[in-house]
Chains A and B, each alone.
Chain A
């Protein structure tokens, strides 16, 4: 059985090759095999497999990756529209959040 892939050309993942340092972190954290690292640069080799979880952008030390993250769940989207706060899995995140690494926002930037 091949890899299951969802809709084509919808994903909001973007990679800025200029900023990429080739550290390979995106390839490590991605559970969908979206990236390949060769020649000290990451490339998106399977964009349609991306599920916009945001792990790559969050873990990219050079901020070369950007993605609008969210839960790919129709029930959560419906619940969000109906204003229901809880569902079976307690997930109502239907709004995009753009992953940015902002230490001030975590409130832990004291040390």
Chain B
């Protein structure tokens, strides 16, 4: 795919393309893992006999591969001078024509709404898989209403829907609204959409099925849905283009206990509300 993108970006240009094998992983992730790395690069230059194919000794490497390659080491080992190209292949013609000069915006990775939207389906599918595994316990929780199998199953499905409101908040609304949500930690950003979705669930969705929750059950969902949303939002850090491991670890030290605590408290409140009210 990268190869095709690159060819598309260079219509009418006469150039050799050296292809590194990253097992189908994109250049940024492969650079982080080392598959798009100096060993592969230098080995591939030798393996292809690149020195016999071209009379120059210059190689344009995508900038996002720089986390896996050391330009000066690669030059020492292969004899080729490494020039870091722009982040996006589409900027390559302008980059080459300007004598290998990149404008500042060519050097920075963006994270536009469209780019974030593209990641939403993956996140939703991931979350739904987890939901599938906890679905049986939701049916049991539904069984606590104790007024027949049908009512229990309905309750279980409605509970599942409640968690789906959390998924919508954390996997769809949070990524889309990311730049405008308050706070810097992703978990914090997941809370406002979580509260909004919890209110929708309690006051709009459930009444449609003739259910109006008591204070305790309502409060339970106001804990559970934002907690689920915050957890899923936190997991969006890996998809984003601006988080660091140090930051993620700091965020998780605070957020994970709160998320687990809120969810546990919510579930207990829900159980209690079904036993005693």
Q: Which residues of A line the B interface, CB within 8 A?
A: 1-8, 10-12, 25, 27-33, 49-55, 58-59, 61, 68-78, 88-91, 93-94, 96, 101, 103, 106-109, 111
Contact = CB atoms under 8 A, between A and B. Distances in A.
A106 B238 CA distance: 28
Max count, chain B CB within 10 A of own CB: residue among A27, A55, A71, A90: A55
A90 B238 contact: no
Nearest to A29: B66
A32 B242 contact: yes
Contacts of B138: none
A71 to B, nearest CB: 6
Nearest to A13: B244
Interface residues of B, number: 54
B244 A10 contact: yes
B87 A11 contact: no
Contacts of B185: 7
A101 B245 contact: no
A74 B238 contact: yes
Contacts, number: 163
B151 interface: no
13 contacts: A2-B179, A6-B244, A12-B244, A28-B84, A28-B107, A31-B64, A33-B108, A55-B31, A59-B71, A69-B32, A71-B32, A71-B245, A72-B248
Contacts of A78: 235, 252
A33 B107 contact: yes
Interface of A is mostly: loop
B242 A5 contact: yes
Given A1-B179, A59-B66, A71-B238, A32 B250 contact: no
Given A5-B184, A7-B251, A106-B73, A31 B234 contact: no
Contacts of B84: 28-29
A70 to B, nearest CB: 3
Interface string B22-47: 00010001011100001100110000
B127 to A, nearest CB: 11
Nearest to B42: A108
A11 B248 CA distance: 10
B243 A111 contact: no
A111 B66 contact: no
Max count, chain A CB within 10 A of own CB: residue among B107, B126, B238, B244: B244
